[in-house]
């Protein structure tokens, strides 16, 4: 037992000497002494091994090195006690070191997690800042657009006010002009009726009558009067007045003595006389004057009456939703006077003779067009039940074009950029190079030997007429000289995250008569099928939605 104790003491002494000579490596990597002293004050950084080390004081082993070892029990008591204390200190230091290492590792993990959280927060802040910058730029552009729109509205309001004043002034002058004409006409008639007629001199009448009785004709009498210095017009007038006066005297004489006849009167002359008695003689100039004056009077009366009668369509300007408002959005309210009512688009009037608030032409069409059930195929809105429309050749409600109905926030669009692509046989054929599939959708393909079915490559196409429109809801255009009208409609509100769908009304007409109405729906970048008219076989066109303008966030 003693022998083993002595061997252990010697081993510890040798080990302690080696530790003193080489220092004790605690196993912590370091570069500076401060890193080791954070763990334990007595530790330092041994740069040769790159680890923290600990030196055991030499004085603790000085006595052991100087005194010789004895095999007695007394000589081994002090070294055994010293080595035990050192071992306890080392174990305590190692234990403390492990605790601190665990604490540092835990702190390092927490610090790394905090750094990750900070990085994610910074990225989120950066994205928010980018969104704010984007919103600011869009707000600025919207502000500029609103300012321009406000200027346009103010300018339009000013122009409309000027136009209304000009129309009122023109109407006043027109009425005044016609009143002046009517007054002058009445004065002229009064003067014409009351003026004294030119009287024929009795001597002239006697002179011309004498020559007539002598059997002389008008040319002979005209020559005699011309030789006396008469003007040709005066001669004609005097001759006519003499004939009229003689005829009146003859008629008057026949009335007083109807049975008396001269011996020289023949049956033929008597017949002529009877005919003249039945047909009164009128002044041609007087008749023309009376007709002209009557036409002018009638025209003036019709014009004045047209200004006092009601109109079928009355358009009122509203400012801020009020008549005569001073600020706000400028709109126009359409009002119809009986027997008219608003058309389905509420932008005009139509005849409503039975006062049931339904246009007469719609009632006539309903009698011809057969009804179908909701969800069935159709080609006219009149075929669908009440509340349904013919959308994409199927009867359904406009609100059903979007799938999701319930959501927290909804969106609508306020503008659409539309391309109308017209195809005509007289257009020039060109070579079109399409780099990718569907790159040539704005061109209607005329298939040839070199054409590709996928519209990719170089092939022959008709170069169509492409018209571009920037429109708001309730705006549109027309084709085929007004036979086909198309109009962008207000879309139902859709949930945020859904794609906006643009409903377009297609109206086919024959003159003023509406043949059919239907709706098609298009997404952004989508092109419609060919739109045709039953009365125009060679006319087709397509509609393409190039861009849909939506509020920020939709």
pLDDT in tens, 140-171: 655 555 555 555 555 556 666 666 777 777 77
User: Are the C-beta atoms of residues 234 and 198 closer than 8 Å to each other?
Assistant: no
Token pair recorded at residue 215: 């059997």
Cα dist from 403 to 374, 497, 550, 553, whole Å = 17, 12, 19, 20
User: Are the C-beta atoms of residues 333 and 313 closer than 8 Å to each other?
Assistant: no
Q: What is the pLDDT of residue 192?
A: 67
User: Are the C-beta atoms of residues 53 and 37 closer than 8 Å to each other?
Assistant: no
Cα dist from 242 to 201, 206, 231, 237, 437, whole Å = 10, 8, 16, 9, 101
Cα–Cα distance, 278 to 465 (Å, whole number): 75
Any idea of the CA torsion for 312, 316, 321, 326, to the nearest 10 degrees? -170
| Lowest-pLDDT choice from 152-161, 211-220, 397-406, 452-461 | 452-461
Cα dist from 542 to 165, 250, 420, 500, 531, whole Å = 43, 88, 6, 20, 6
Cα dist from 184 to 289, 301, 535, whole Å = 13, 15, 54
Q: Which residues contact 166 (CB under 8 A, 6 or more apart)?
A: none
Token pair recorded at residue 186: 């009445």
Q: Which carries the bigger pLDDT value, residue 1 or residue 165?
A: 165
User: What global pTM score does this model have?
Assistant: 0.40
Q: Which of 264, 271, 279, 212 is nearest to 243 (CA)?
A: 212
Rounded to a whole number of angstroms, the distance between the first and last alpha carbons of the chain is: 91
Cα–Cα distance, 405 to 399 (Å, whole number): 9
| Lowest-pLDDT choice from 18-22, 49-53, 172-176 | 18-22
The 10s digit of each residue's pLDDT in 371-412 is: 888 889 998 888 888 889 999 999 999 888 887 667 888 888
Element (H, E) at 284: helix 284-308
pLDDT at 300 over 50: yes
Which of 48-52, 113-117, 123-127 has the highest average model confidence (pLDDT)? 113-117
**Beta-ladder partners of 517:** 507
Work out the widest C-alpha separation in the chain, in whole angstroms.
Answer: 213
Q: What percentage of residues in the chain have a pLDDT greater than 90?
A: 11
Confidence of residue 261 (pLDDT cuts 50, 70, 90): very low
**Beta-ladder partners of 502:** 522
Other Cβ atoms less than 10 A from the Cβ of 266: the count is 8
């Amino acid at each position: 037992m003693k022998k083993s104790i002595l061997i252990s003491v010697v081993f510890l002494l040798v080990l302690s000497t080696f530790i003193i000579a080489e220092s004790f490596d605690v196993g912590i990597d370091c570069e500076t002494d401060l890193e080791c002293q954070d763990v334990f004050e007595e530790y330092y950084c041994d740069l040769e091994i790159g680890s923290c080390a600990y030196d055991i004081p030499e004085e603790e082993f000085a006595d052991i090195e100087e005194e010789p070892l004895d095999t007695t029990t007394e000589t081994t008591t002090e070294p055994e006690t010293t080595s035990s204390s050192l071992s306890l200190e080392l174990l305590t230091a190692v234990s403390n070191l492990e605790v601190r290492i665990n604490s540092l590792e835990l702190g390092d993990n927490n610090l790394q997690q905090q750094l990750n959280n900070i990085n994610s927060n910074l990225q989120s802040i950066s994205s928010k800042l980018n969104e704010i910058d984007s919103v600011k730029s869009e707000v600025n552009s919207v502000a500029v657009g609103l300012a321009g729109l406000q200027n346009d509205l103010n300018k339009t309001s000013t122009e409309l006010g000027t136009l209304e004043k000009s129309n009122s002034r023109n109407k006043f002058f027109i009425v005044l002009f016609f009143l002046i004409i009517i007054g002058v006409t009445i004065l002229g008639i009064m003067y014409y009726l009351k003026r004294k007629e030119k009287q024929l001199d009795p001597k002239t009448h006697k002179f011309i009558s004498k020559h007539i009785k002598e059997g002389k004709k008008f040319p002979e009498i005209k020559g005699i009067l011309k030789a006396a210095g008469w003007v040709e017009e005066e001669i004609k007038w005097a001759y006519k007045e003499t004939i009229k006066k003689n005829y009146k005297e003859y008629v008057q004489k026949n009335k007083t003595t109807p049975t008396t006849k001269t011996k020289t009167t023949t049956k033929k002359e008597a017949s002529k006389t009877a005919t003249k008695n039945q047909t009164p003689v009128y002044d041609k100039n007087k008749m023309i004057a009376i007709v002209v004056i009557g036409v002018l009077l009638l025209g003036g009366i019709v014009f004045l009456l047209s200004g006092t009668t009601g109109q079928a369509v009355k358009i009122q300007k509203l400012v801020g939703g009020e008549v005569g408002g001073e600020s706000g959005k400028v709109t126009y309210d359409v009002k119809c006077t009986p027997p008219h009512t608003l058309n389905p688009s509420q932008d005009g009037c139509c005849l409503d003779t039975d006062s049931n608030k339904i246009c007469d032409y719609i009632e006539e069409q309903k009698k011809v067009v057969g009804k179908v059930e909701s969800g069935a195929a159709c080609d006219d809105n009149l075929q669908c039940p009440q509340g349904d429309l013919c959308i994409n050749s199927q009867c359904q409600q406009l609100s059903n074009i979007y799938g999701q109905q319930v959501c927290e926030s909804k969106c609508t669009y306020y503008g659409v950029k539309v391309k109308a692509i017209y195809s005509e046989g007289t257009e020039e054929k060109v070579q079109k190079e399409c780099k990718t599939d569907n790159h040539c959708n704005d061109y209607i393909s005329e298939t040839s030997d070199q054409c590709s079915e996928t519209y990719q490559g170089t092939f022959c196409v008709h170069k169509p007429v492409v018209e571009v429109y920037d429109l708001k809801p309730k705006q549109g255009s027309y084709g085929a000289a007004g036979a086909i009208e198309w109009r962008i409609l207000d879309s139902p509100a859709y949930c945020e995250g859904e794609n906006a769908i643009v409903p377009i009304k297609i109206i086919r007409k024959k003159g003023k008569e509406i043949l059919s109405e239907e709706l098609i729906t298009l997404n952004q970048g989508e092109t419609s099928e060919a739109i045709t008219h039953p009365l125009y076989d060679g006319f087709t066109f397509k509609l393409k939605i190039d861009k849909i303008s939506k509020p920020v966030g939709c």
